Amino acid sequence: MKVELTRRLRLSEWSVLLAALIGFSVIDEPAVADDDQSDPPPVLQAGAATANITPPLGSDIVGGFRPIPARHIHDELYVRCLVLDDGATRLVIVMCDNVGIPREVFDAAKASVHGITGIPIEHMLMASTHTHSAASARGPSKVAYETELTSYQEFIVSRITDVVQCAINNLEPARISWGSGAEPNQVFNRRWFSTDPDVRRNPFGGIDEVRMNPPRAHESLVKPAGPVDPEIAFLTVQSTEGRPIALLANYSLHYVGGVRSGDISADYFGMFAERIAELLGAEDLDPPFVGMLSNGTSADVNNINFREPGQRMEPYEKMRIVADAVAAHVYEAHQSVQFQDEITLAAAYRELTLKTRIPTPELLEWARTTLDKPEDAEQWHRVETNYAERVLRLEDADEEIEVPLQVFRIGPVGITAIPFEVFTEIGLELKENSPLQKTFTISLANGSFGYLPTPEQHELGGYETWLGTNFVEKEASDKIEQTLFDLLSEVAVD
């Protein structure tokens, strides 16, 4: 449904209304010229804040095929928030250092914030960064809505509720601008065509057309199966006196990794937040400056050049290289932006029904047979047991799910929010065909429903298309794109 925006009444209008209700007349005022009767231009306000969501040691770190307990905190995890208010509409953007927070957690946080602040739920965008070095906030299933939250999920809900209130407390007259840089040297499509069938095995006993993360510098590699998006889009907000308030950037690169086993880390997303503050001279401010890096459409992209042999690096070294490079390009583009204090905001939201992928009887039989193998039996694929377990968990899944889709308009800039790990070509199509001047997509927003390939990529197979990694119908991306284009058209009209 389209979010309707209500204009606030001016003080004089309220006085006339109040006088009519209680039976008094308003003292006549001198006539004013027509141009003085127009509404004053809206005054933009902005506020930002952070809250710590680091889990206790011993919590399960997810990101690999099997969780491992957290043994050390390399850097703290945060929820970061930016609130914008144009005098008629208030928007909330929340980024959480987590691999993927399910919808029910974000729904609970939005309900809590709405109950305290009155902000419409459709005006809140909440997303995960996709660090692979954080404790799990997931439930047991990507396609089952959980009604009971774990203690860590409840903690995240409370911290999101806190951080939004703190950002509102920090609201002040502000100016905003936008821009983009590019960092092409850190994005490589990780899905490759290969001439070697053994390289292209899948866990289900078959052969795919492409392989995710193939052996590096392998003689069988032909070409990547998709594009990359090097753009770093950003919004930047400062006080009317020029003090930096917040910067929200968006880059289509998966996590970087390279952490020590058992370490908790926000990955390059957290390092970017620190570095951009340093470059902008925004350290030790009051209220504190908040740097934010959102995950773009990076489901099939990492920063490994599979044409070349691997290079050994120290833990966190590559992460720092990426964060510094992305921040440097944003800072360079930031030098030429023009700030504005008179913009309008809008939001639109819609629930989309998608069919879920239910395992066939043949696939269920394969899963049971695979799990019944002796431990020393020869394996067709190294993660076949993992996927056998995943297939069986989907046996009684609901046939349909509702996914939340959302669009924000901030002046001429559009933000599309998708609750999946989204393939890059989907983000590129949204950018190219958007009716707004600039558009970018935040993935894993308002939920976490697995990978979102295009129908064409589904035909090629590969990790991101496997049942147990992908959970919804093969045409899902087409339906999501069309819905988002409809929402973009709605907010593009003032």
**For 6-27, how does the pLDDT look when each residue is reduced to its tens digit (9 = 90+)?**
323 333 333 333 333 333 333 2
Q: Are residues 74 and 91 in the same domain?
A: yes
Q: Are residues 325 and 468 in the same domain?
A: yes
Q: How far is CA 137 from CA 106, 157, 422, in A?
A: 11, 11, 20
Asked if pLDDT for residue 4 goes beyond 50, the answer is no
| Averaged pLDDT score across all residues of the chain | 91
Enclosing domain of residue 438: 45-189+226-353+397-492
Residue 206, domain member (yes or no): no
Q: Are residues 377 and 324 in the same domain?
A: no
pLDDT value at position 6? 31
- Model confidence band, residue 42 (pLDDT cutoffs 50, 70, 90): low
Q: Are residues 165 and 265 in the same domain?
A: yes
- What is the rounded average pLDDT of the residues 457-483? 98
Q: Are residues 136 and 249 in the same domain?
A: yes
Residue 15, domain member (yes or no): no
- Model confidence band, residue 41 (pLDDT cutoffs 50, 70, 90): low
Q: Are residues 454 and 470 in the same domain?
A: yes
Please state, as a whole number, how many other Cβ atoms lie within 10 Å of the Cβ of residue 195: 11
Number of domains in the chain: 2
CB–CB of 48/290 below 8 Å? yes
Phi, psi of 148 (to 5 degrees): -115, 130
DSSP characters over 221-263: EEEESS----EEEEEEEEETTS-EEEEEEEE-------PPTTE
Cis peptide before 197 (omega within 30 of 0): no
- In eight-state DSSP terms, residue 127 is E
Percent of the chain with pLDDT over 90: 86
- Which of these three, 367, 393, 419, is where a domain ends? 393
Asked if pLDDT for residue 363 goes beyond 50, the answer is yes
**For 186-236, how does the pLDDT look when each residue is reduced to its tens digit (9 = 90+)?**
999 999 999 999 999 999 999 999 999 999 999 999 999 999 999 999 999
Q: Are residues 389 and 291 in the same domain?
A: no
Q: Are residues 435 and 407 in the same domain?
A: yes
Q: Are residues 369 and 348 in the same domain?
A: no
CB–CB of 178/233 below 8 Å? yes
**For 306-322, how does the pLDDT look when each residue is reduced to its tens digit (9 = 90+)?**
999 988 999 999 999 99
Residue 349, domain member (yes or no): yes
- Model confidence band, residue 39 (pLDDT cutoffs 50, 70, 90): low
Q: Are residues 61 and 116 in the same domain?
A: yes
What letter represents residue 233's amino acid? A
pLDDT value at position 37? 54
pTM metric for this prediction: 0.91
CA gap 339, 337 in Å, rounded: 6
- Which of these three, 372, 393, 414, is where a domain ends? 393
Asked if pLDDT for residue 34 goes beyond 60, the answer is no
- Which of these three, 344, 372, 393, is where a domain ends? 393
Q: Are residues 260 and 376 in the same domain?
A: no
Q: Are residues 458 and 389 in the same domain?
A: no
pLDDT value at position 29? 35
**For 138-192, how does the pLDDT look when each residue is reduced to its tens digit (9 = 90+)?**
877 777 788 889 999 999 999 999 999 999 999 999 999 999 999 999 999 999 9
